Chain A
Amino acid sequence: MPFSIDPIYILILAGFVGFEIIKKVTPTLHTPLMSATNAISGISLVGSLVAAGSDHLTGQVLGFVAVTAATINVVGGFMITERMLKMFRKREKKS
């Protein structure tokens, strides 16, 4: 695949979007935020699926391990985040 400048634009702009939205997250939620972004970084699952779907045996084996690892990351990450966020409660106003 030849070099193309487009992905660089995407990289930089997405990075800026990331900076802007993360800056606004309250420190109270930094742990769930981290575990959610952690789950999102399991997006390499998409790459792992592509790799596992190749017709080369070594690629398939490596891809299989990658799929398993990335799925642990994704499923574990989102579920833990949900478990934590469920605990953040504001008490009802005292009468």
Chain B
Amino acid sequence: MTFLAEMVYIAAAVLFVVGIKRMSAPATARKGNLLSSLGMFLAVLGTLIHFRILTPEFILLGMVIGSAAGAVLARVVKMTEMPQMVALLNGFGGLASLLVGWAEYHKNPSADLYTAVTTFLTVVVGGLTFSGSVIAWAKLKEVMTGKPILFRGQQTLNAAVLLSVFAGGVLFSMDPANNYPIFIALVGVGLLLGVTSVIPIGGADMPVVISLLNSYSGIAGCLAGFVIQNTVLIVTGSLVGASGIILTNIMCKAMNRSLANVLFSGFGSVTAKASAGEKGEVKSLTAPDAYALLEAAGSVLFVPGYGLAVAQAQHACHELAALLEKNGAEVAFAIHPVAGRMPGHMNVLLAEANVSYDLLKEMDDVNPGIDAVDVAVVIGANDVVNPAAREDASSPIFGMPIINVDKARTVIVMKRSMAAGFAGIENPLFYKENTRMLFGDAKAVLQELVSEFKRT
């Protein structure tokens, strides 16, 4: 590789690192994204020039088609649909890595052991990233059920699939030139592995899955770098791989569950038995009553969950928050790390609705002072505010860190009905002395409150 090309790749790698570093705070993040995309531009330009890849022309056609499709997707996607879009794009990255490994085999079928091993790993991890992302996309988009899909012998099947990856990998690597059928089988098994590993995971665990798939796409790119001996792929792939692992870890901690538990337990598939003890009485209230409470409140804490996204209620929520502030109340938003369907999902929605980011608080920042909050408004969140996580050792979510809204003076819970949350777990919050249920569609209810405020 020429000196110049290596220099361009080093510059690209540096731009990626600096770009990600700039993303640590909202004020510098846009510049960070720009630097990263500049890095990508340099890397592509350097590659095209260095390898003199301008013919066949259809390569450029591929880039034109890809750019157009990517631009359209980026433009039309709604903020509420961000998790499935990120999953889908992630899948395309995995597909590319898979195909790079495949094409490389055709270029040089009788490769040495080292290249053979990295090639088979690239196609397996790339395939797994692709099919896993497509399944995650389908679940989030509700093309298929968001519930865990479980069947008898599932663990055995998974073990068999994994075993055949290893067996096939060994067979292939020993004599790559004469084992093309095994190679193709490995491509298939990699794709199958993505499907079997994501179908048992339920909708509310998607933040973990998306983070993990993000990591896989980095690892796949990194492996492809080993195959074609390209350093910029190795550097960048491991950066992204590390990023995904960190986010996966944060998500698991926020649910107090191990990664293995998320991946294999089919959490939420069991309908929790109705808890025996007396639950107390549910006290509901009407919008005008809620208005009276809010109007008198000196401090209001909003706690959004996935229900906010489903109801597209972020704008109405912002409008109410603004009116409360005008009314003299101190307003903040408490955001649980796993609220929504991907890390940071709620923050993006509220940012879209023009909520200033200094009002978006982390769980650990609001919990210590939460007993001084006059009214906590829970919008479409359930498990992340379930006090059973703190109090009931028999609850499946016991030990999960939650936002302690039950300690606020009054809690208003906006909810469609009394149905249990995703995980089918009873929520004692709804029966607490200081809790009032406000039933209805979150958006409609919020709009009603807004008009109450405007009327006066």
Q: Which A residues lie at the B interface, using CB under 8 A?
A: 1-3, 7, 10-12, 14-19, 21-54, 56, 58-60, 62-91
Contact = CB atoms under 8 A, between A and B. Distances in A.
A75 B74 contact: yes
9 contacts: A7-B229, A18-B242, A21-B24, A50-B230, A54-B103, A67-B66, A76-B74, A81-B33, A86-B30
B210 interface: yes
Nearest to B219: A41
A75 B148 CA distance: 32
B386 interface: no
Given A34-B243, A46-B232, A73-B90, 7 more contacts: A15-B241, A22-B243, A24-B21, A28-B344, A45-B44, A80-B89, A85-B26
A80 B96 contact: no
Dominant SS among interface residues on chain A: helix
B175 interface: no
Given A66-B100, A77-B89, A32 B29 contact: yes
| 9 nearest A-B pairs in the assembled complex, by CB-CB distance | A71-B66, A18-B242, A30-B344, A75-B70, A76-B70, A79-B74, A53-B53, A30-B343, A66-B99
A23 to B, nearest CB: 6
Contacts of B61: 64
B53 A18 contact: no
The B interface, classified by DSSP as helix, strand, loop or mixed, is helix
B3 interface: no
Contacts of B63: 67-68, 71
Contacts of B245: 19
Given A18-B243, A27-B337, A37-B243, A47 B59 contact: no
B357 A28 contact: yes
Given A44-B233, A88-B29, A21 B103 contact: no
A39 to B, nearest CB: 7
A31 B347 contact: yes
Given A31-B347, A83-B74, A46 B44 contact: yes
Interface residues of B, number: 115
A42 B16 CA distance: 12
Nearest to A74: B40
B217 A41 contact: yes
A35 B58 contact: no
Contacts of B242: 14-19, 22
Contacts, number: 384
Interface in B60-117: 61-63, 65-67, 69-71, 73-75, 77, 79, 82, 85-86, 89-90, 92-93, 95-97, 99-100, 102-104, 106-107, 112-115
A8 to B, nearest CB: 9
A36 B44 contact: no
A68 B214 CA distance: 19
A45 B221 CA distance: 9
Interface in B232-257: 232-247, 250
A56 B344 contact: no
Contacts of B23: 25, 29, 32-33, 36
Contacts of B47: 46, 49-50
B151 interface: no
Contacts of B97: 44, 47
Given A3-B114, A34-B247, A54-B103, A39 B344 contact: no
Interface in B332-368: 335, 337, 342-345, 347-348, 351-352, 354, 356-358, 360, 362
Contact of B70 (A1, A65, A79, A85): A79
Contacts of B66: 67-72, 74-75
